[in-house]
Amino acid sequence: MRVLLIGANGMLGKDIVQEWRDDEITSATSRDADIRNCDEVERLITATRPDWIVLTAAYTDVDGSERDPEAAFAVNAQGAENVAIMAQKYGAKVLYVSTDYVFDGKGTRPYEPGDPIAPINVYGESKARGEKAIQDNVQDWCIVRTSWLFGASGSSFPEKILRAAETRPELTVVSDQVGSPTFTRDLASSIRSLVHADARGFVNVTNSGTCSWFEFASEILRQAGKNNPVRAINTTQAARAAKRPAYSVLSPAALNALGIHVRHWRDTLPPYLDELRKMGKLA
């Protein structure tokens, strides 16, 4: 099977490259093709002739999207449309990585793939437009919604918490947003399994278990052997530019139905911390 990975330099993309070794993988970055440019996308696809395109390239700065919505929509929506159009033209299937932020967070049970979406920030809206572009322009598609990504290959919440712990005697973390942390290594292997299963439609992929950002931070510090106290604050006190969904837990039912199960998020912290140590990011 020929697989074209678009977004190979991102945190998730780097882990996909390392985890996916049993197919013919072409790793593409923005240097190979700017997905905002349809002609460049076409040249990349004609050169590689993939059976599947895994699209992880994205504008992921949630607060930055509020300040520069044009940049977010150009990559997350128009870029996705360009890839979908060219995938359809050359007979490729597409797996598009999306986000829990397409939901408004007003739910009280895990979101199922078919639940209505209602993004409350620019980033979520740009990814929702990307989802629609995939559905409208390519026949064979799988959209993977995930949440709270972290990995050693890029900067993410756990690493920021650990860095903050080096200089701050006390940390403050939001406690009124609940979701499921997702280790990019586990997401990468799940994406590979979905492609091998020839999956279609919407599938949620996160690590199992739920927590608040406060609980996540506390567990990160505990497992890293740090003693910094963590004080809980609310979303209003955090004063971020973009609104965040208060509850964005995603149901794993569709994923489990395919025989794919993902470990608890707490169990991912030891290998994650080991990776940081090997990379010299954690003493």
Point out the residues that are catalytic: 123
Q: How far apart are CA 114 and CA 193, in angstroms?
A: 21
Write out the H or E segment, with its range, that includes residue 83.
helix 80-89
C-alpha closest to that of 182 among 15, 3, 24, 9: 15
Burial label, 178 (beta-carbon count in 10 A; 0-12, 13-18, 19+): middle
**Alpha-carbon dihedral sign for residues 29, 73, 95, 207:** positive
Q: How far apart are CA 230 and CA 72, in angstroms?
A: 32
Q: Could you tell me the CA-to-CA distances from 52 to 34, 107, 227, 228 in Å, in that order?
A: 18, 33, 46, 45
